[in-house]
Amino acid sequence: MSGLTITLFIALHLFNHLCSVFGAEKHIAIMTGLRGVYRNFIVEGILMVAVLVQILSGFSLLAVRRKTSVTGWEKLRIWTGLYLALFLVVHLGAVFAGRLLLHLDTNFYFAVAGLNSFPVNIFFVPYYALAIISFFGHIAALHGSRMKLVVFGLHPAEQSAIILAIGICLTVVVFYGLTNQFRGVEIPAAYQILIGK
């Protein structure tokens, strides 16, 4: 249940980021609508508990599976799970610090500040890209290890490869929407603090 809860939230979050290809205003408008669903004490509390349960259960599974994992999908599941656990702790900490300590709206501009400023983007580009790819990689690895059915002539390993490929393609589209190299994104003055200005 914790995994499904997080997956639903991340799917909505990535959909929101995909909408950035239509501009910052569209991204913020959709985020505002989605916040009506998830930004309240009850839903945020459920999400935080789900993240905690997923991380703790993941580490207990890691202790068992790291020595018995032999297939590529099993190893991918371990590495993507570890990266997602690290990412979620750091990312949630940053978002809550931005909201509660810096009093910033953690919207489109909070996300793009690090992606569009050298030299901090040397960290933030792979940090975010690996998070999206790890999310799809984790789903692909779970699918590859549990799915037994051939669907549309595709065996489970091929299905998993498609899931991972979709994640990589989606990462490229999200970065297109969130970076100023192609889109002319300008970071408002209030968000300059995030990049040390």
Q: What is the pLDDT of residues 81-99, one digit of tens each?
A: 999 999 999 999 999 999 9
Over 70: is that where the pLDDT of 151 sits? no
HSE toward the beta carbon, residue 93, CA cutoff 13 A: 7
pLDDT band at 33 (very low <50, low <70, confident <90, very high): very high
Strands (E), 91-157: none
Q: How does pLDDT run across 123-145, given as a tens digit for each residue?
A: 999 999 999 999 999 999 988 87
- Residue 155 to residue 148: CA distance in whole angstroms: 8
Q: What is the DSSP letter of 19?
A: G
Q: How far apart are CA 27 and CA 50, in angstroms?
A: 26
Q: What is d(CA 147, CA 165) in angstroms, rounded to the nearest whole number?
A: 18
Cβ atoms within 10 Å of 34's Cβ, excluding its own? 15
CA atoms of 177 and 167, how far apart (whole Å) = 15
What are the residue ranges spanned by the domains of the chain? 55-195
pLDDT of residue 156: 79
List of long-range contacts for 88-95, beta carbons under 8 Å, 24+ apart: 88/51, 88/55, 89/55, 91/131, 92/48, 92/51
Which pTM value belongs to this model?
Answer: 0.88
Q: Which residue has the tokens 């970065």?
A: 175
Backbone angles phi, psi at 151, to 5 degrees: -120, 125
